[in-house]
Amino acid sequence: MSRVCQITGKRAMVGNNVSHSNRKTKRRFYPNLMKKRFYIPEEDRWITLKVSAQGLRTINKKGLLNALKEAKQNGIVTNF
């Protein structure tokens, strides 16, 4: 499974490690992902999502079903 948030679509970014002597080597910045279970009372079931910290804030703000609906419209999540 790839390191992509299922709500916001955040994925790893590429950048540089810069040393004191200003040498640059490639590195990756990974999103703060966690596997979390959410309860959907309307459907009386649990779902497991891989979400970032920003994704958790989005779910708290908009609600789980609205956040999933928007992610599906944006093409981030295919089924839930």
Q: What is the pLDDT along the chain (80 residues), one digit of tens a residue?
A: 589 999 999 999 999 999 999 999 999 999 999 999 999 999 999 999 999 999 999 999 999 999 999 999 998 887 76
Q: 23 is in which domain, residue-wise? A: 13-73
The two tokens of residue 24 are: 């640059």
How high is the pLDDT of residue 1?
57
Each residue of 7-32: b (16+ CB within 10 Å) or e?
bbebeeeeeeeeeeeeeeeeeeeebe
Q: Is residue 67 part of a domain?
A: yes
What Rg value do the Cα atoms of the chain yield, rounded? 16
How high is the pLDDT of residue 35?
96
The two tokens of residue 74 are: 């944006």
Q: How many CB atoms lie within 10 A of CB 70?
A: 15
Q: Is residue 66 part of a domain?
A: yes
Q: Which residues pair with 55 in a beta bridge?
A: none
How high is the pLDDT of residue 45?
95
Q: Is residue 58 part of a domain?
A: yes
The CATH code of the domain that includes 47 is 2.30.170.40
Q: Is residue 5 part of a domain?
A: no
How high is the pLDDT of residue 68?
94
